[in-house]
Chains A and B, each alone.
Chain A
Amino acid sequence: MDPDKCIACGVCAEKCPKKVDDKYNAGLSQRKAIYVEYAQAVPLKYSIDAENCIYLTKGKCGSCKKKCPVGAVDYEQTEKKLKINVGSVILAPGFEAFNPNGLDNYQYANYPNVVTSLEFERLLSASGPTMGHVVRPSDKEEPKRIAWFQCVGSRDMNKCDNSYCSSVCCMYAIKEAVIAKEHAGDGLDCSIFFMDMRTPGKEFERFYENAKKKSGVNFIRSRVHTINPVGDTGDLELRYVTETGELKTEIFDMVVLSIGLQTPPALVDLAGKLGIELTPGKFCKTDTFSPVSTSKEGIFVCGAFQGPKDIPQAVIDSSAAASAAAEVLAEARDTKTKEVAVIEERNVVGERPKIGVFVCKCGINIAGVVDVPAVAQYAASLPYVDFVDENLFSCSQDNQNNMANLIKEKGLNRIVVAACTPKTHEPLFQETLFNAGLNKYLFEMTNIRNQNSWVHKNNPELATQKAKDLVRMAVAKVALMEPLKEVKLTVNHTAMVIGGGISGLTAAKSLANQGYETHLIEREHRLGGQALNLFHTAKGDDVQQNLSKIIESVNSDEKITVHLNTQINNVDGFVGNFVSTLSTDGKTEELEHGVAIVATGAAPLVPTEYDYGKDPRILTSLELDKKMINHDPMLKDLNSAVFIQCVGSREPERMYCSRVCCTHSIENALELKKINPDMNVYILYRDIRTYGEKEYLYKQAREQGIIFIRFSLENKPVVTSKDGNVIVTITDHVLGRPMELNADLVSLATAIVPYRDEQLANFFKVPMNEDGFFIEKHAKLGPSEFATDGTFLCGMAHYPKPIDESIAQAKASVARAVTLLSKTTIYSSGTIAEVEPAKCASCGVCVSVCPYSAPSFATEGRFAGKAEINPALCKGCGLCVASCRSGAIHLKGFDTDQIFSQIFEMDEAV
């Protein structure tokens, strides 16, 4: 297919006689041999499945070529080899889902109602084969009982070779169960069979808790060993052993296998060709302190090839990889940038509207249903319409030139295009206006294809009438459009990083490496933050050595100014133009900067339980690290050590998992075993959450005789001091009886607690969640930035995380910041809100409702005390406009009179 010609009309697929299984819908439905992979594909272009195309396999048919209205089908296309000269490479090849076909105990291949989680995902999706209505494959009946099996193809050396944890399956299984129940109502029973429930991500624990308490999803800690069919009913009988050792048999309608992530063989080959090293789990090998660098210089990695991970982490990694690549290429920045030619804009102010209406036929896509000549004729009768044209394809290049000429020739000053959707085509037509010297906002597009001809194909008469109505509404609106200005702002190229921990240090260094002056603000007298307390990473690296190296590189970088013992007293300004007041040892100074990165970190909880503080042998994890850093001789004399997990985490008042503690305790437990292999080491836990390849540590710990004993929130261990001994009492989860452990050392895995810095949040007008962590722009797609432009976020101020993830997010926040810093000027959108100060009552509603902190009260001038809106921050959502009780705010492009004009023209008798 020629993508430049294809208009995605879909005639080819409609006429294609060959049906094949739709891979996107996990084979649950069929598509044609000429197809779009999925409805949201960008760009929306059809392609030929060469393996199944009748013409390409047998030389006959050719139906799509005959029917294509734009001649986009080209059977001669072949693979082309391109040579591209690049300075660095980023690998983002992803993963493949584990194929459970080979697992004899689950009989995925033989029982139709055993499905994979990906298949279930498609069943739940509104764009899936059942439009989101969950039915089981065998008889298309609604299931009443669904079971999920966790760790299929993960944490398993018996049935497969994937001994790592795939990191994402617990969360997606809970999500699938909750959505299925939401869809089906209370009649559906959902049970998740798991080993450890791993929900260590931001807001995940709360989601898990709500799934149990509010949605009523059952969680059963067991691995099901057999599935048997129940006659020919399609039902499935599960046999499993409960936590108390009881054998149970239950019948379910459907089983979902939560399949894991793995690196496909082709990728292993590619890694071999590129000469990059892989981990034992066949993921790309990286170092804790350079988490997106492969073993080969200049090649970076992100996403699930770096290690199994969820979307937020993959997005963080991808920005981090971009930053790492940009550091190497900093000198080449902008060397290939081309300038856009400036076209003089015609002044139309004061002119009577002269509207041009262009009605698109879109081949037969619109014209096949809607009577386009009738619509065009009708348009010509509308007020202020001076010119009407019908186009076979309004979007084609020759029509763009034609349109630009017509605008100039006829002196048109408002344009309506009735065609497909403004979501894809508005920018194209606006560019044509721009090229014709017309302000691009003197334009309105109305949708007579996606929302008309395509959905009313059996109702041509009413569709034609609807098209006329839509054109009339658009004409009424466009007549009221005015030329809009995009405000130009200069960007200060200095960056401020707040927090001198490992995240802040990394961010500052990355900014400096990309050529930007950076000020690093630290409230303490030294750099390093919480990393100063850590002994080893999960991979066994010495934290202090590596930290010293980073601090040294920051201190010696002439582009970085370090401000120790420094507080921020005030922040003024906005994106590109901040002024912060810093106070260092009583002296204040003003710092002008274009962006700010918040890397303020978090602190360990001081425990109030387990007799902490009453005996020197009862320590927190970080205090134990301190002893290890200092090679404390007491560590040699220990005969027994007990680690207690979730101290302050996953509690009702702190409903989040601190993410790092399971790995940290296991790492320290192994360290103790190294010092004295005969030491009795116990880890008392609720769920072991060694996600990803950290799972190897857990396995290693069990192999080395470290004993893991599980407890529940309702039945926590008790620490007492008796006759000079520290005794830990815990109920064994298998025996169900209390046991006493004699402990020479108790290490408490304390929660990571945010600083809840209200003042900083106010300075930058950024939000915090109920736990006190800052809230990012978007949980999945904007994890390293705030919704307020020019402000970014990384490290533990966002959520607890280990060093490698902190470093990745620090680099990610820099990548996001550099999208601004690399520009000398930025332009606001034209469609933004503006205050009419004479009407403003200074009530402050706009200031409080805006999610982007755009409105504020003017502090000086004629309208001091009235609201004003910063065009640089306004996103044009209109929330303030709708909230303004005085009608003092106007939203350009969607102003009240313009929307009313559409409403008034809605259904005039035709």
Chain B
Amino acid sequence: MKTSYKKISEKLIESLLFVSSMVTSLTVILIVIFLFKEGLSVFNETPVEAGNVIAVNKKNPLSSLSSEQIKNIFDQKITHWNEVAGSKDSILLFRLEDISNYYTDEQIGENFEHLPECISKVVDSIPGILAFFPEKYLSKNFHGKKIEFNKIALKEFFLGKEWFPTAQPAAQLGVLPLILGTLWVSFGAILLALPLGLAAAIYMSEIAKPKVRNVMKPLIELLAGIPSVVYGFFGLVVIVPLIQKLFDLPVGETGLAGSIVLGIMALPTIITISEDAMRNTPRAMKEASLALGASKWQTIYKIVIPYSISGITAGAILGIGRAIGETMAVLMVTGNAAVIPHSILEPMRTIPATIAAELGEAPDGGLHFKALFALGCILFIITLCINLIVEYVSGRKTHKAH
């Protein structure tokens, strides 16, 4: 009787544990699936928002335009049709409000009931016209030619140099400036944090007296617990003006400010992980080195660092990972200009900062919304790669030390 009760409770606990582990794994998988489903659907979209039409005169041989071409035409950088393989005419832009130049309000009608007809006539009469208007004003017997939009291409998405998702009539979705901004800021951060972190780790694990270490270690771990918005605030108030003054810049919100803030944020990760790795160096190995007449410093850089190099690397890469994914602090100090950076002293915009800043204004399910999810996918893949590298690097050590 008692044993069967015990068995049942044992089974119950087992199944509870099983369910909770399944729920967590499933949640993770579902999130990833959702992310990629939303993100990849951006490549099924055209850059012109649904419900709008771009049309040309029917004699124009042009059949399709890319989003960049559309943008350049509307920015009047392209003014002649032969630049985009069209007719010989120069381009005349026609927006819906321009209709009043051609027809009076009476001709259009009180409720715009004649508007489709009027647009059709205008497009038909001007050879070089490019008309942009809502689809609902498209006449049933339209005399012009509707332009097909190319779907957003992978290449265009990744190599496009402009990120302007709300541009009219065609959104510009080039993520290159964002990827480069992310990499610049993270790389700068690691460049600052690695030497400093490594020095602190060496000091704490090999040189500091236990008393000093017992004070320093919790302090550094405390650094990891400060909310990122506080770092951002600190950066905005202290580092940004400092950089502006120091380099005599028009604005202090630069990639460098982001790098410094992120570097400080990555320090605890780098220090704690590499310090743990160094402390794992067998005492006997250090003693053997000292017993051969090596000095303390020789022992550190010839024995301790080579022995713990995989742990140090893991710490550095995890630090980069933290820097790449960090949102709030970066958003506050980097200036968020989505242009391809040429120096660390320019404003930059990172992927996470873009998502955070724009998600609120992107209509649910729209092109912009999906593009932000695609950015999320890119970020996910980058951090996944980083974690895989860490996994590989720290796995190598256990293999070596066996």
Q: Are both chains from one complex? A: no
Q: Which B residues are closer than 8 A to A by beta carbons?
A: none
Q: Which A residues are closer than 8 A to B by beta carbons?
A: none
